[in-house]
Every structure is written in structure tokens, then in C-alpha cells.
Amino acid sequence: MKLLYLHGWNSLVGGVKPTFLQSLGHEVIEPALDHDNFEMALATAQAAYDASLPDIVVGSSRGGAVAMNLQSGHAKLVLLCPAWKRWGSVKAVKPGTIILHSRGDDVIPVEESLELVRTSGLPDSALVEVGSDHRLAEPEPLRALARAVEGI
């Protein structure tokens, strides 16, 4: 499956999660997003989306906010601890979106994802509570990420 992976604020390209997704045989496109200018990050992500037309857009933290603001056509969204209240203007996600978030997240409160599920009219099952921190880079959240991506 072809995935567009949008990394978090001050994260580097080639991190644990996109590398994990590649190891499962997925084609992962991961542009380097601007850390200081959200609009530039969004423009870079949109250009990558338009050039690759991925099946799924995976956005982590700030990358989740970028994913929400992207014109993503029919691509499904998988959001990891999305920082939607901090960046961008979109306040709801499209049907079929899956959100992974940890109760132990000390960067983005899980309540923000609970609110996003409610305001978007998603079923409660759209939010998968997993992991012990914001990074979601442990084996359990990585398995949940694989299930989210492969279940779409």
C-alpha cells in the first residue's frame, strides 16, 4: 500500500514509525516538513500528496494537524496523537479516520482526540488508546499502527 507519512514537529524524516511501515512492505513517502511555518509544511505535504496519490495519509502529532488540513481526496487518514488544536484550521476529520493516542501522552492530551472523534461524528472505535507516551514508538503502538493501516 502507498502511504504518505507526515512527521511531527521537530521530528526527523526516517524515524521509527515510517521505517516500521516500510519494513511491512508499504511504500512510504515522507517529505521533510518545515518546523517553523505551518503553511509551508502544509504546502510541502500537499505537493507530496498530489505527486504520489497515496492510499493512506499517516500524520503524527503536528503531522496529524497537517494531514487534517490536507486536500486528501479519497485517501484514508490515520492520525497519531494529532495536534489539531495547535495548528491549522480544520476541526473535524472525514469518515473512516482512525486515531491512535495514549492516555499517558504528556504533550497532547488524549481528551483532544476524544473531542475530535465526537465533533467529527466518528464511532468510538475510531479512537484506539494505546501506548504509554506521545511517541507511540513501542512495540504495542507499532502493532496498532500496522493494524490501522492494513485494516483500511
pLDDT tens string 97-150: 999 999 999 999 999 999 999 999 999 999 999 999 999 999 999 999 999 999
Question: Is residue 65 a contact partner of residue 89, using CB atoms and an 8 Å limit?
Answer: no
Strand positions, DSSP E, the chain = 2-6, 27-29, 56-60, 76-80, 98-101, 127-129
Question: Is residue 97 a contact partner of residue 76, using CB atoms and an 8 Å limit?
Answer: yes
- Domain with residue 31: its CATH number is 3.40.50.1820
Residue 131 belongs to domain spanning: 2-150
Report the domain count for the chain. Answer: 1
pLDDT tens string 66-97: 999 999 999 999 999 999 999 999 999 999 99
Q: State the average pLDDT over residues 41-69.
A: 98
Q: How far apart are CA 79 and CA 8, in angstroms?
A: 11
pTM for the full model? 0.96
Of 82, 72, 60, the residue nearest 8 (C-alpha) = 60
Q: How far apart are CA 49 and CA 72, in angstroms?
A: 7
